Homo-oligomer: A and B are copies of this chain.
Amino acid sequence: MQQQETDLYPSRQGKKETITHRHDPVVYPYHKPELESTLSPEQIARYINDGFLVLPDYMSDWVEALQYKIGQLKQIMSGREELITEPDSNALRTIFNPIEHNQLVKNFFSHPRILNIARRLLGSEVYAMQSRVNIKPPFTGRSFPWHSDFETWHVEDGMPRMRAVTAWIMLTDNHEKNGPLYVIPGSHKQFVCCEGSTKDNNFATSLKKQMLGVPLQHSMKELMGNKEITSVTGKAGTVVFHECNIMHGSPDNISADPRSILMCVYNSMENIAQKPFSDLQPRPHYLNSRHPAPLHPLND
């Protein structure tokens, strides 16, 4: 593991909570000419401004096969620590690392229609740092408080800079009432240096219910300002890219409809996670790959 570099985003270091500016670009200059036209200038501008991009019905023809494979994965991976249940029931909430356990999932995230957007945004080759299936079961799927993924990945995994993007596909319709992703557009331009300090093995509980890295109310109020909380909704097959530092959360699923999504965190090969920016031991590999290898575009 490399030497830790200067900590540009200190958090959970026992200090008073503050909000600072982002020190990194949101979109990096493309490194291959053929990537230029991957997104339109309007799409790039929207991602820079909002911190996320929704592509309705973008890969709908993959949904059925992915659903089928994930159903199999639930059986095959049963009993493994990569499977996380809801905090107050035994309902399955998350399957980590499906990309390592299923070739179709890997093919999906290697498809040029999705992979090249990640390469375009991050201006470099990318690797799959984390992948997961989030299942929000009907009625019992619980909420998740406001947080920035980058804050966790920085403090607990050692991701140095903001140069990662999460891509995900809706495997069921995501609507207002089944616990969709809530984002605060524009919040990725600031960074909340959170209070508290991280205990070892925080991840073992934080995957069910995050406590640390959740900004205080006054920070959230400041960050929200006059921005509007936005629900990210769409039909199954819709693909979303959201920036690693966007403030997001999600409400309970109080409907009769499951809300399932499949996601992959693409991290830049120039931003490989190193020693955590804390005294913690690195988290398990299924939360943060320690064998980064660039993904290559793979047509159907």
Which residues of A are interface residues toward B (Cβ below 8 A)? Answer: 138-140, 143, 145-146, 176-177, 182, 217, 220-221, 224, 229, 231, 249, 251-252, 254-256
**Can you sample 15 A-B contacts with CB below 8 Å?**
A138-B217, A139-B145, A139-B146, A143-B252, A145-B254, A146-B254, A176-B176, A182-B254, A217-B256, A220-B256, A224-B255, A224-B256, A229-B254, A251-B254, A252-B252
A258 to B252, CA, bound (A): 18
A140 contact set on B, CB distance < 8 A? 217
Q: Do A139 and B255 touch (CB < 8 A)? A: no
Q: Do A229 and B177 touch (CB < 8 A)? A: yes
Closest B residue to A221 by CB, please name it.
B256
Closest B residue to A255 by CB, please name it.
B229
A contact face: mostly helix, strand, loop, or mixed: loop
A143 contact set on B, CB distance < 8 A? 143, 251-252, 254
* Among A221, A224, A229, A254, residue most surrounded by chain B Cβ atoms (within 10 Å): A254
Closest B residue to A253 by CB, please name it.
B251
Shortest CB-to-CB span from A173 to chain B, Å, is 13
Residue from B139, B224, B252 within 8 A of A220 (CB atoms): B139
Other than A224-B255, A251-B252, give 5 A-B pairs with Cβ distance below 8 A: A143-B251, A145-B254, A182-B254, A217-B256, A221-B256
A220 contact set on B, CB distance < 8 A? 139, 256
A217 to B221, CA, bound (A): 36
A231 contact set on B, CB distance < 8 A? 176
Closest B residue to A179 by CB, please name it.
B251
7 nearest CB pairs, A to B: A221-B256, A177-B229, A251-B251, A224-B256, A143-B252, A139-B217, A251-B252
Closest B residue to A251 by CB, please name it.
B251
A229 to B253, CA, bound (A): 12
